[in-house]
Amino acid sequence: MVFGDFDGDRVRRYAEAINRFSGKLAVVIGGGRIARNFIGIARGLGADEVWCDEIGIVVTRINAMVLLSGLKGCAPVVPEDFSSAKLLLTDYDKVVMGGTFPGHTTDATAALLAEALKAEQLLIATSVDGVYSSDPRRDSEATRFEELTPEELVEIVARNDVRAGSSSVVDLLASKIIQRSRIPTVIFEGTPENVERALKGEKIGTIIRP
Ligand code: U5P
ipTM field: 0.99
Residue 206 in this model has a pLDDT that exceeds 60: yes
Give dist(CA 165, CA 32) in Å, integer.
9
CA-102 nearest atom, ligand 1 = 7
Domain contains 185: yes
Read off the pLDDT of residues 115-132 as tens digits, 9 standing for 90 and up: 999 999 999 999 889 999
d(CA 16, CA 9): 10
**Does a structural domain hold residue 1?**
no
- pLDDT, position 6: 65
Residues 9-25: pLDDT tens digits?
A: 999 999 999 999 999 99
The CA distance from 44 to 61, in Å, is 23
Q: In this structure, what DSSP letter does residue 37 have?
A: H
What pLDDT is recorded for position 175? 96
In a domain, 51, yes or no: yes
Dihedral angle at the C-alpha atoms of 122, 127, 131, 137, nearest 10 degrees? -170
Q: How confident is the model at residue 102 (pLDDT cuts 50, 70, 90)?
A: very high
Residue 52 lies in a domain: yes
Average pLDDT score, the chain? 93
**What is the position in ligand 1's atom list of the atom closest to the CA of 31?**
19
Distance 52 CA to ligand 1 centre (A): 9
Q: Would you say residue 53 has pLDDT above 90?
A: yes
- How many angstroms is it from 71 CA to the middle of ligand 1? 23
The pLDDT > 70 percentage for the chain reads: 93
Q: Which amino acid is at 125?
A: A
Q: How does residue 136 score in pLDDT terms, banded at 50, 70 and 90? A: confident
pLDDT digits (tens, 9 = 90+) for 23-33: 999 999 999 99
d(CA 100, CA 54): 9
Burial 33-43 (b: 16+ CB within 10 A, else e): ebbbebbeebb
Residues spanned by the domain of 161: 8-208
- The predicted model gives 45-56 an average pLDDT of 98
CATH of the domain at 138: 3.40.1160.10
**Calpha distance 66→84 (Å, rounded):** 19
Percent of the chain clearing pLDDT 90 (strictly above):
83
* Residue 45: exposure state from Cβ atoms within 10 A (0-12, 13-18, ≥19): exposed
Please give the helix or strand (H or E) that residue 96 lies within, else none: strand 94-97
**First-residue to last-residue Cα distance in the chain:** 23
Judged against a pLDDT cut of 80, whether residue 190 lies above it is answered with yes
- Residue 132 is classified by DSSP as B
Is 2 part of a structural domain of the chain?
no
CA distances from 201 to 93, 150, 194, 198, 205 (A): 18, 20, 10, 5, 12
Confidence (pLDDT) at 5: 60
Residue 138 — pLDDT band, cuts 50, 70, 90? confident
**Nearest alpha carbon, ligand 1 atom 20:** 105
Residue 113's pLDDT band, with cuts at 50, 70 and 90, is: very high
Q: Which atom of ligand 1 is nearest to the CA of 49?
A: 11
Q: Is 190 in the pocket of ligand 1 (CB under 6 A)?
A: no
Q: 102: Cβ below 6 Å to ligand 1?
A: yes
CA–centroid distance, 160 to ligand 1, in Å, is: 15
Q: Residue 1: how many CA atoms within 13 Å on its side-chain side?
A: 29
**What total number of domains does the chain contain?**
1
With a 6 Å cutoff on the Cβ, whether 104 touches ligand 1 is yes
State the distance from the centre of ligand 1 to the C-alpha of 119, rounded, in angstroms: 21
Looking at the DSSP bridge assignments, the partners of residue 125 are: 188
- Distance from Cα 51 to the centre of ligand 1, integer Å: 11
Residue 109 lies in a domain: yes
pLDDT (mean) for 39-52: 98
Flag whether 3 is in a domain: no
- State in Å: Cα 172 to ligand 1 middle: 13
Ligand 1 pocket, 61 CB below 6 A? Answer: no
